[in-house]
Amino acid sequence: MPITSPNAKEPVLVAFGDAVRAARLAVGISQEELAHISGIDRSYLGAIERGEQNAGLLHLVRIAQSLNVPLAELMVGAGL
């Protein structure tokens, strides 16, 4: 189980997680499928989507590429 970030549930993390979830659902894939495609542990991806994990840039880029959307689009979707 991933260690929860001390920033867990910060509004910006929750908003970004919501944007990732919305993009994933728009593509029509499960968390498990996205995790596999992006090379990220499924539980870690779930924590990102719930706003419990402050993901690093490499993971953010992998998620965006796996969803075939620009990272900037996820950021805008999160209101950033």
Burial class (CB in 10 A: 0-12, 13-18, 19+), 26: exposed
pTM, two decimals, is 0.87
For the stretch 8-42, pLDDT in tens is 689 999 999 999 999 999 999 999 999 999 999 99
Tokens of 36: 């596999």
> What length does the chain have?
80
* Structural domains present in the chain: 11-77 (1.10.260.40)
pLDDT at 8: 66
Q: What count of other Cβ atoms lies within 10 Å of the Cβ of residue 77?
A: 16
Q: Does the pLDDT of residue 62 top 90, yes or no?
A: yes
Residue written as token pair 């990102």:
48
